[in-house]
């Protein structure tokens, strides 16, 4: 397990000592949670209705909303 700031997170995706990507990411307050497959084939985001709605509304992202 590693601890990093949000700004440092992108550096973990190019970390030469590790194959794949970070798979579980959450803030200290645990208000949201991100799970990404190790090979970046998909990501699941859990959080408030407002957070999920903003992700689904972002045209740059391909998303599916589950009830």
**How is residue 41 annotated by DSSP?**
S
In the prediction, which pLDDT does 1 show?
75
In the prediction, which pLDDT does 12 show?
73
Domain residue ranges of the chain, discontinuous segments joined by +: 9-57
Each residue's pLDDT tens digit, 2-52: 788 888 877 777 677 767 667 888 999 999 999 987 766 788 999 999 999
Element (H, E) at 57: helix 49-57
In the prediction, which pLDDT does 20 show?
67
23 CB contacts (<8 Å, ≥6 apart)?
35, 36, 37, 38
pTM, whole model, 2 decimals? Answer: 0.70
């Amino acid at each position: 397990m590693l601890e990093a700031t949000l700004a440092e997170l992108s550096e973990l995706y190019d970390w030469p000592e590790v194959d794949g990507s970070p798979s579980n990411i959450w803030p200290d307050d645990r208000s949201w949670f991100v799970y990404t497959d190790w090979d970046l084939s998909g990501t699941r985001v859990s959080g408030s209705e407002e957070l999920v709605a903003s992700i689904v509304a972002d045209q740059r992202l391909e998303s599916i909303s589950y009830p």
